[in-house]
Amino acid sequence: MDSRIVLPVSEPGQRLDRLLEVIRLLGTSLNLETFLDTLISTASELTGCEVASILELDEGGKQLRFTATPWFHRDLLKGIKVPLDTSLAGFALQNGQPVVAPDVSAESRHFKGADQAARFATRSLMAVPIIYHGEKLGVLEVVNKLEQTDYTEEDRIILETLASQAAMALQNLRLVARVKTSQDQITQLDRMKSSFIGIASHELRTPLGLILGYSTFLREIIQPDYRPQLDIIHRNAMRLKEIIDNLANMDNLQRGVASVRVHTISIRRLVEEVVDSFQSEANHKRLTLRFDPPQNDLIVEGDSPKITIALGNVVTNAITFTNPGGHIDVVAESIPGHVKVSVIDNGIGIPANDLPQIFDRFYQVESHLTRKHGGMGLGLSVSKVMIEMHGGRIWAESMEGKGSTFTFLIPVKSDRVVLSGDPSIPDKL
């Protein structure tokens, strides 16, 4: 035990001044451990007691554990559990009132386990409950009045005042613990989801490739009367391929294996190729998909396959959420330092409260009960990452029932830490 004894502040006026000073200091403390240590030191000083402690109610609500103790008791009391039903501290907490025991040897409710662990002799004790907005959190107690004097009404007021400060600290500790638990759970779920994405995208590629290959082969040899049915198989297999590709792309991005291979790109030519590749799908849905090529090539430094994926996902989104008879316009233009590409549709639009989340992974505007459209909510998030890998940005503007405009900017000159390479050589993404 510490041989140093802090003499109490004797004059009432001095004690009040000291209490107010400490409360002001506590209000500026950012470290919870320092906050609690200062609080128990002040409690023992102002009440003229040997030591003070804070005990916190555990998650089960059946026991108390020492949260703040003098440094010389810290390791000894670390694992001690104080029962609620057979301790003075527990009695104070359960009844929500201070407990004063001038002579603990006469108290059957005195818990001796802490004394035995700390090799300490408790002679007298005062305990007050720590309550935050009606919730019982713990107990602040002071032990062994110096000079063998009695606990006073002023001691009680001091302890209750400090207990109110401790209540906020313990509540903060609980919130921090809950946030950490939630973060750990989110990390674990994210890890499991990433693992599933990687396995699923890999395992589905082989059977899907066979379906697409044989459906293409069969289309060439079967009778024309059966081709519409085979076209349905092929079209839906291509939709599944798109989902798998997005899963694989997101998995590669999360694992950090995706890289940008910089070469000179004509955005005009890239957009023409993307629009041409979606004409059949647009026609099938009776949509008008248009691109009015600009005069110049709109040359940038970037990764053509990744920009193609980004634009393709945005066009797919427009086709999905535009009703038959609608139109989709793709516009590309040059602005200072960037090339700007916009996909404009007159589809169903996006509700204002959903707009900030549409680039989040797996986010779906519609509920799972009323969804009429396919997809997993990955396409736009993949597009966002692809564009940001180039140092660009993407955003959306929309009015529900009127349509949407998705726009992205690609810098003309790349300042990314990237890999130079032949665009004909496939990347991992």
Average pLDDT over residues 257-286: 89
Residues in the chain: 429
Structural domains of the chain, with CATH: 12-181 (3.30.450.40), 258-420 (3.30.565.10)
The residue that leads in pLDDT, 174 or 77, is 77
Among 7-16, 165-174, 305-314, 406-415, the minimum mean pLDDT is found in 7-16
Q: Is 260 in contact with 416 (CB distance < 8 Å)?
A: yes
β 261-266/419-420 pair status: parallel
Q: Provide the percentage of residues in the chain whose pLDDT is more than 70.
A: 81
- 271 three-state secondary structure: helix
**Opening angle at CA 176, ends 175 and 177, nearest 5:** 90
| Residue 258, pLDDT above cutoff 80 | no
- 232 three-state secondary structure: helix
**Opening angle at CA 300, ends 298 and 419, nearest 5:** 160
**Opening angle at CA 312, ends 255 and 259, nearest 5:** 30
| Residue 299, pLDDT above cutoff 80 | yes
Separation of first and last alpha carbons in the chain: 65
Give rounded-to-5 percent helix, strand, coil for the chain: 50, 20, 30
| Residue 215, pLDDT above cutoff 50 | yes
CB proximity list for 139: less than 8 A, separation 6 or greater: 54, 55, 64, 89, 90, 92, 93, 127, 128, 129, 130
Identify any residues that bridge with 342 across adjacent strands, giving them in sequence order.
331, 407
The residue that leads in pLDDT, 371 or 347, is 347
Which of 23-27, 124-128, 380-384, 398-402 reaches the highest mean pLDDT? 124-128
> What gap in Å lies between CA 160 and CA 92, rounded to an integer?
12
Average pLDDT over residues 167-179: 80
**What is the predicted pLDDT for the residue at 251?**
63
| Residue 188, pLDDT above cutoff 90 | no
Q: Is 50 in contact with 144 (CB distance < 8 Å)?
A: yes
**What is the predicted pLDDT for the residue at 2?**
41
Angle at which helices 32-47 and 153-221 cross, to 10°: 170
> What gap in Å lies between CA 331 and CA 333, rounded to an integer?
7
Among 210-214, 247-251, 310-314, 388-392, the minimum mean pLDDT is found in 247-251
Which of 89-93, 174-178, 232-236, 260-264 reaches the highest mean pLDDT? 89-93
For 293, phi then psi, to 5°, come to: -60, 140
| Residue 115, pLDDT above cutoff 90 | yes
The residue that leads in pLDDT, 21 or 342, is 342
What does the block give as tokens for 428? 């991992």
**Opening angle at CA 67, ends 99 and 24, nearest 5:** 80
Tokens 């999360």 found at: 254
329-360 pLDDT tens trace: 999 999 999 999 999 999 999 988 888 888 88
| Residue 424, pLDDT above cutoff 60 | no
Q: Is 279 in contact with 289 (CB distance < 8 Å)?
A: yes
Average pLDDT over residues 86-114: 94
Nearest one of 17, 88, 68, 26 to 46, comparing CA atoms = 17
**What is the predicted pLDDT for the residue at 28?**
62
